[in-house]
Amino acid sequence: METGETTIRRTQVADAAGIARVQVAAWRDTYPGVLPAPYLVGLSAGREEMRWRRRLGRPLPRTATFVADDPTAGIVGYATCGTNRWRLPLRIEGEFYELYVDPAAQGRHLGRRLVAAMAAWLLAQRMASGCVQVLRDNPARWFYQHLAGRMVLEGVTRFAGASLPQLTYAWPDIQSLDRLADPLDGMA
């Protein structure tokens, strides 16, 4: 999938360093005041790269990882998806696990394109519905509402030693998300 110069594609193990760099930058930009400061300060692109190398080298079954690959800047975003791991009030088959775009690359519709890639993959795996769990205080949570995600569950998760309010958004039919990358889509 290509629009302009940034390509959305499946990952390779060689993408680990770029994904780790985006992850650390995005988390430090998104989560101040949400996640404990010592956790954010302690994030290390080197440690995350090792974790991503292992993860990409031995992917879990029925999961996929995509990157936004810019020919000048390299990896500027990533997204992971797979089988839904949660018990929800609706029967939801797929899940968007992660979606992060480098703060310097935001505003270029890369998040929408990554969601489209995940939705297309889930549909190809015969998963017609999807969900995402997001921290309630994540300022980017509105992105999912803008994509017509319906909030179906509120809860609390434990992360980095803190109890954090969490929301689950769901799409009973993800076919409309598959079309987000279409330049003819008026929302692109």
Is 2-178 assigned to CATH 3.40.630.30? yes
pLDDT at 4: 55
Give the Cα separation of 175 and 183 in Å (integer): 16
User: For residue 142, what are its two tokens?
Assistant: 């509105």
Residue 92: closest CA among 154, 179, 180, 168: 168
Indicate whether 188 pLDDT > 50: no
Under the banding of pLDDT at 50, 70 and 90, the label for residue 60 is very high
**Model confidence band, residue 56 (pLDDT cutoffs 50, 70, 90):** very high
Given a cut of 80, whether residue 183 has pLDDT beyond it is no
pLDDT at 179: 79
Q: What does the block give as tokens for 53?
A: 């190398």
* Token digits of residue 88: 């929800």
- The predicted-structure confidence for 122-177, as pLDDT tens digits, reads as follows 999 999 999 999 999 999 999 999 999 999 999 999 999 999 999 999 999 999 89
Place of tokens 């985006």: 22
Number of H helices, E strands in the chain: 6, 8
pLDDT digits (tens, 9 = 90+) for 6-24: 999 999 999 999 999 999 9
Examine the pLDDT at 53 and tell me if it is beyond 50. Answer: yes
What percent of the chain clears pLDDT 90, i.e. is strictly above it? Answer: 87
Task: Locate 183 and state its tokens.
Answer: 């330049």
pLDDT at position 182: 55
Structure tokens at 136: 């309630």
Q: Are 34 and 138 in contact (CB under 8 A)?
A: yes
Cα 119 versus chain centre, distance: 11
Distance of alpha carbon 101 from alpha carbon 78, whole angstroms: 7
